[in-house]
């Protein structure tokens, strides 16, 4: 078995492997799009295991800017971990993970994050590789029976030219948070290009103050809040009141790995959080001298640490 980059693989095999594992097509066109619009993607575009001429496994190492208690730090993000059926439990994934860690270290990165669920077989492998649970994903729900619509405030679909204001709102709304809260310019515009997100799913407050925005995923019987960013608690309540006014007799759901403050704001509006979930954010030091305790101090897991749905990988 040898380790190779995306350019050295059979791209049809990579496509089939990702469709089977994630339902997510990785094509040459998609890779070009990610490299152009998503600063997290590295030029190497993944590490792959090739055996007897076949591509049998994949890990996608990313480089992601984060904020710590000591300033900004670029970390690694491990994504797209998969091995084709018939090759599991043979050490392929472990070898690929170690190769991905080498890529990250070669780029001066000393911390690696990944997202997983506790019930997956890979969870045990990650722990053996030095990862520990930083946080679990939060989910909450509220059945909206009657909701009053605030006066003089309207949500409208996001426009491409709104990016400067939404960038400013985001920077202000996350200024005291740590973790995955450092975004590139025009983030929402680029996210529309690289994901299923559409402008109609981003609702912007239509007023002179431009106090916030919310990203929604409407369903037949529910509305999911994927992200809400605002200037303060009053703005949060105004925006959520507008969301709930359009969701009468439906559940409003949220799936967030957000800060303690974000959870409290939802709880004050009557949302019930599921405290125990399967989803995990895991982290590992990649260099000597960086302890788990130090990582917890840098990111304040369970406190100011934040990762919103649009920042998952």
Those residues whose C-beta lies under 8 Å from the C-beta of residue 308, and which sit 6 or more positions away, are 180, 226, 227, 256, 257, 258
As given in the structure block, the two tokens for residue 53 are: 């001429």
pLDDT given at position 82: 97
pTM tops 0.85, yes or no: yes
**Residues paired with residue 71 on neighbouring β-strands, in sequence order:** 68
> Where do runs of H (alpha helix) occur along the chain?
11-22, 28-37, 92-106, 122-128, 163-173, 187-194, 233-245, 260-268, 292-299
Distance separating alpha carbons of residues 288 and 33, to the nearest angstrom: 36
Same domain, 105 and 199: no
- Among candidates 295, 247, 289, 287, which has minimal Cα distance to 271? 247
Same domain, 250 and 173: yes
Distance separating alpha carbons of residues 269 and 142, to the nearest angstrom: 9
Same domain, 113 and 131: yes
Range of the domain at 55: 2-137+277-311
Same domain, 229 and 281: no
Mean pLDDT across 97-102? 98
Same domain, 131 and 9: yes
Same domain, 95 and 173: no
- Among candidates 28, 2, 34, 5, which has minimal Cα distance to 15? 28
Query: In this model, does residue 260 exceed pLDDT 70?
Result: yes
Query: In this model, does residue 306 exceed pLDDT 70?
Result: yes
**Residues paired with residue 83 on neighbouring β-strands, in sequence order:** 57
Q: What is the mean pLDDT of the chain?
A: 93
Same domain, 196 and 118: no
Residue 293 DSSP class: H
Summarised one tens digit per residue, pLDDT across range 67-86 is: 999 999 999 999 999 999 98
Distance separating alpha carbons of residues 235 and 210, to the nearest angstrom: 10
- How many domains are there within the chain? 2
Residue 130 DSSP class: T
Share above pLDDT 90 across residues of the chain, in percent, rounded to a whole number: 80
Same domain, 54 and 165: no
For residue 206, give Cα distances in angstroms to 110, 148, 174. Answer: 43, 18, 21
pLDDT given at position 99: 98
Same domain, 148 and 104: no
Residue 166: CATH number of its domain: 3.40.630.30
Mean pLDDT across 285-308? 95
Residues in the chain: 313
Same domain, 186 and 212: yes
Cα 236 from chain centre? 21
Same domain, 120 and 110: yes
pLDDT range class, residue 208, cuts 50, 70, 90: low
For residue 158, give Cα distances in angstroms to 5, 199, 212. Answer: 37, 5, 11
Same domain, 129 and 147: no
- Among candidates 296, 300, 285, which has minimal Cα distance to 104? 285
């Amino acid at each position: 078995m040898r380790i190779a980059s995306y350019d050295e693989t059979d791209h049809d095999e990579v496509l089939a492997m990702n469709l089977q594992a994630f339902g997510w097509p990785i094509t040459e066109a998609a890779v070009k799009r990610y490299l152009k619009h998503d600063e997290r993607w590295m030029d190497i575009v993944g590490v792959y295991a090739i055996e007897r001429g076949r591509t049998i496994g994949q890990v996608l190492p990313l480089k992601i800017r984060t904020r710590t208690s000591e300033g900004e730090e670029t970390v690694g993000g491990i994504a797209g971990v998969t091995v084709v059926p018939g090759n599991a439990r043979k050490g392929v994934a472990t070898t690929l993970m170690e190769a991905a860690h080498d890529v990250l270290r070669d780029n001066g990165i000393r911390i690696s994050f990944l997202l997983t669920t506790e019930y997956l077989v890979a969870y045990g492998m990650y722990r053996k590789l030095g990862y520990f649970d930083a946080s679990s994903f939060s989910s909450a729900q509220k059945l909206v029976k009657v909701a009053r619509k605030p006066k003089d405030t309207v949500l409208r679909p996001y426009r491409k030219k709104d990016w400067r204001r939404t960038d400013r709102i985001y920077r202000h709304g996350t200024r005291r948070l740590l973790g995955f809260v450092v975004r590139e310019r025009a983030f929402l515009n680029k996210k529309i290009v690289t994901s299923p997100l559409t402008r109609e799913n981003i609702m912007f407050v239509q007023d002179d103050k431009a106090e916030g925005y919310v990203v929604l995923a409407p369903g037949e019987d529910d509305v999911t809040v994927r992200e809400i960013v605002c200037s303060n608690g009053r703005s949060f309540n105004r925006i959520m009141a507008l969301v709930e006014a359009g969701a009468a007799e439906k559940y409003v759901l949220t799936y967030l790995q957000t800060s303690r403050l974000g959870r409290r704001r939802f709880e004050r509006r009557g949302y019930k959080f599921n405290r125990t979930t399967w989803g995990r954010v895991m982290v590992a030091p990649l260099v000597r001298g960086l302890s788990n305790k130090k990582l917890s101090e840098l990111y304040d897991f369970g406190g100011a640490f934040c990762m919103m749905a649009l920042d998952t990988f």
